[in-house]
Amino acid sequence: MNQKKYTGVWPVMLTPFDERKEIDWQSLEKLIEWYLAAGVHGLFADCQSSEMFFLSDEEARKLVRFIVEKVDGRVPVVASGHTANAFSHQSEQLISMSETGVDGVIMISNRLALAGESNDKALETLQRLTAQVPVSVDLGIYECPYPYKRLLSEETVAWCAQSGRYTFIKDTCCDLTMIKRRLELAKGSRLHLANANSQTLLASFQAGCQAFSGVMANFHPDLYVWLYENWQAEPEKARKLSDYLSTAALVENLDYPVCAKNFQQSIGNFHTIACRVRDSSGYLQTFYPEAINGMVRLGQDIRRYLEL
């Protein structure tokens, strides 16, 4: 069972805000229940979709504790909050996050070294930070694209697999060849790859990848759950669903996370579309909401096809 703990569909959680841009706890509780009702296998809290770079350390801890409390063991929860620049501050963030009750703490790959610095430097920092976090909590890494994307080297993936501490890589390489190589490096270890890319997802499952953790689970997590659980038994339906998910995922470019918050508002989970990461006030005057509505309508057709 432990080997399956970090498999399946892991939404990258949004953080709802009220009109004052303070955390809206009532909306957050509704969001949690919506994810769980869709059958997701885990939750990734305090990540980029959560606007973690725009939360204070205290807010981040409070946010994650709330999520852990409301989930109450129904699925595992991992969280990051790894946003600082200085090593000592990073260490403080990771240790304090490990004390919130999460199953795993996720490091951010671009915090391990500055843009332009070597992969060796990043691995050295990773090893030093790993030693700081209590062994009672699992570890992971997220190739977050903000403020810059640092893809993990083969040496880093291999070290994580061999360490016995790492269970989760949120993979954003979007490269099937690289995904296959990483799967080979992680073979036989506790380390699982969570593909964030919808276009390569089905092919990555076929290659042995065991998890999805991407932003589109904020729109239709149930469809990703169906794909994960049924792609082998119903390959024709899985291919058609994959075609839809691959195309639908292009809406990531339509002012995310505002578009996701607007969708959550439309289904009654959120009170506002307020963000800290960007100004959301002009969103409704764009063509984006109608594009999202079209995606949602097509998703209903897909659900009927899948008999959901």
Q: Report the alpha-carbon distance of residue 1 to residue 135 in Å, rounded.
A: 19
What domain range is 38 assigned to?
2-219
Q: How confident is the model at residue 8 (pLDDT cuts 50, 70, 90)?
A: very high
pLDDT digit string, tens, across residues 239-286: 999 999 999 999 999 999 999 999 999 999 999 999 999 999 999 999
Q: Report the alpha-carbon distance of residue 285 to residue 208 in Å, rounded.
A: 43
Flag whether 208 is in a domain.
yes
Mean pLDDT of 83-106: 98
User: For position 267, what pLDDT does the model report?
Assistant: 98
Residue 178: exposed, middle, or buried by beta-carbon count in 10 A (0-12, 13-18, 19+)?
Answer: middle
pLDDT digit string, tens, across residues 218-227: 999 999 999 9
Radius of gyration of the chain (CA): 18
Average pLDDT taken over every residue of the chain: 97
- The pair phi, psi for residue 194, each rounded to 5°, is -110, 105
pLDDT digit string, tens, across residues 191-213: 999 999 999 999 999 999 999 99
Flag whether 276 is in a domain.
no
Q: What CATH number has the domain bearing residue 64?
A: 3.20.20.70
State percent of the chain over pLDDT 90.
99
Q: How confident is the model at residue 3 (pLDDT cuts 50, 70, 90)?
A: confident
Flag whether 126 is in a domain.
yes
Return the DSSP state at 151.
P
pLDDT digit string, tens, across residues 72-86: 999 999 999 999 999
Residues 56, 90 contacting (CB under 8 angstroms): no
Q: Left (φ > 0), alpha (ψ -120 to 50) or beta: where does 72 sit? A: left
Flag whether 22 is in a domain.
yes
pLDDT at 1 > cutoff 60: no
Residue 87: exposed, middle, or buried by beta-carbon count in 10 A (0-12, 13-18, 19+)?
Answer: middle
* pTM (whole model) above 0.75: yes
* Count of domains for the chain: 1
Flag whether 114 is in a domain.
yes
